[in-house]
A and B are shown apart, each in its own frame.
Chain A
């Protein structure tokens, strides 16, 4: 069934086209084999699927609404829908994947969960599902991110998680991921719950599959509201790219639907202070996969910059690297200032305060040419409670 998918299928070594694979030291090989084996068994297992769907409905509150923003529709002269992942339990799409993986970890008999987090949304989601399933939880988070996303740090700790600061390198998501991998090598019984469509195979494929519930719902909801399950354009922000993978997943093979990935331009793509990986990166290996990577001429990873902790990552998921390279996904970038203005606009227009990450997707509307025939879905991946201090400072 999966082999029929043109874009989302991986080969026997976990590659999407030339990107992906599993580039890990031998020390992690047993772990990845155990994970692949269990994941392949369970993804086809009806009882597992039922449990996943049931938790998404009764615990997370899915389906999340698909909301037609009348004011954005008026401004851009075509229907603009917001997929309200911000209304999920814990406040973002991250919980979808966390639920899927915690069920997998439980079936594998794991009792200790580790995770990396940037903005803290994945950390909160992981701390939440660990509380739910009585698992020990350790979240690695860059020291810089701990400062700029304090509310989420408090939430993780209140939920019972240990938050370990990553103090190396840029002290952001990249470094938190390094620390999580090192801990995993030293504690091979721990389950590493990766939060995005990054890392060694099978993580990118697994996270994309757990997030694909977003596009499945968009299909049903759009059909109800417009008569067609297909929009003309889907817009989502991309750091590693899990919310975009989820929002695009069911539409990859329908080439009439344009897929637009919005990267964090930071202070501008050419400023040297950016996280727009597909604009300034080239193929390279980081955190277990071959993907597009921000790096210097000698292959040292360049420390990215974005005001948004969730997009401040020097790589991009290999599925996105592949689909951008072959022209299926279009990538654009949005600066810090443009995202901040878009957040304010959505707050004033609709009474919805988006996460800084999701505000990048809203800001992208000003960079896309629309016709009156367009039907647009923006994935509003998270809510902005965690970003209030940044928003207030900008005013």
Chain B
């Protein structure tokens, strides 16, 4: 079963665990669920987030200063596990996962029914050589990133490894949090990629900040993922979700 397949276009929100306060994460998840968000990416903060722009850098360093870590996060998720119906995805850089212990991490993911894990700095080649066996042992699925310039051959390889997750299509080659509207010259490529993914859901992320972006993402993809714009709205105490849903 693939929990990311739905008969409607989806909207996903990325949150930074431990931001704005250490204990805000569980409440945020339940609130987003109640507002109709389809699935949530829970960001594991890292000290050196090299693919992130200033907004997620800042939320990550605040979260770490608040005391967020892997144990605290798993305990918080455990406290709401009976109330969460939508898929939860854990997203973060590889190092905190390795240092926590991959097997211990996957065991807790399995116990909490985490729907997928995204580790952007781990390529599919490294996954397959070193880590795939453990992911399969604990029945935890990986979601990989592709970009509009990823070759069709490589997309095929990623699709083959993603039957229980989704394809995270990065809207353009840029770090998270870019404010410009989506580049319409790429829409055709998104459609091509959607065709190549043969039923594995394609979610468009990075640089999605407005209702218009979400609508454009939904033209060709199965869903849109909002990260920096949501976190910025928390910083500015605005209700972005009300504007989007």
Chain A residues at the B interface, C-beta cutoff of 8 Å: 13, 21-27, 29-30, 168-169, 174, 178, 181-182, 185-186, 188, 283-288, 293, 295, 297-301
Contact = CB atoms under 8 A, between A and B. Distances in A.
Given A23-B94, A25-B145, A298 B100 contact: yes
A188 B149 CA distance: 11
A384 B61 CA distance: 36
B121 interface: yes
Interface stretch (B19-27, B44-52, B80-88, B218-226): B44-52
Nearest to B206: A27
Given A21-B126, A168-B57, 10 more contacts: A26-B123, A27-B145, A27-B170, A27-B175, A29-B123, A185-B50, A185-B173, A284-B95, A298-B100, A299-B100
Given A185-B175, A299-B100, A27 B147 contact: yes
Nearest to A297: B99
Given A26-B146, A181-B50, A185-B173, A299 B120 contact: no
B30 interface: no
Interface string B105-125: 000000000000000111101
Interface in B47-106: 47-53, 57, 61, 64, 69-71, 93-100
Contacts of B34: none
Contacts of B126: 13, 21-23
Nearest to B92: A299
B100 A285 contact: no
B48 A178 contact: yes
B207 to A, nearest CB: 11
Contacts of B50: 25, 178, 181-182, 185, 287
B145 A26 contact: yes
Nearest to A170: B47
A301 B129 CA distance: 25
Interface in B34-50: 46-50
Contacts of A169: 47-48, 61
Contacts, number: 101
Interface residues of B, number: 40
A202 B49 CA distance: 21
Contact of A186 (B96, B120, B146, B173): B173
Interface string B196-207: 000000000000
Contact of B51 (A27, A29, A283, A301): A27
A295 to B, nearest CB: 6
A188 B173 contact: yes
A286 B145 contact: no
Given A168-B57, A293-B95, A298 B147 contact: no
A285 B98 contact: yes
Contacts of B51: 25, 27, 182, 185
Point out which of B49, B147, B173 has the most chain A C-beta atoms below 10 A from its C-beta.
B173
Contacts of A295: 95, 99
A178 B146 CA distance: 21
A13 B149 CA distance: 21
Nearest to B68: A298
Given A29-B150, A295-B99, A298-B96, A23 B48 contact: no
B144 interface: yes
Quick one: which of A13, A185, A295, A298 has the most chain B CB within 10 A?
A298
A300 B47 contact: yes
Contact of A300 (B46, B129, B145): B46
A23 B174 contact: no
A298 B123 contact: no
Given A25-B121, A185-B51, A299 B99 contact: yes
A186 B174 contact: yes
A56 to B, nearest CB: 32
A207 to B, nearest CB: 19
A299 B96 contact: yes
A297 B95 CA distance: 11
8 contacts: A24-B123, A174-B48, A185-B50, A186-B178, A285-B121, A295-B95, A298-B100, A299-B100
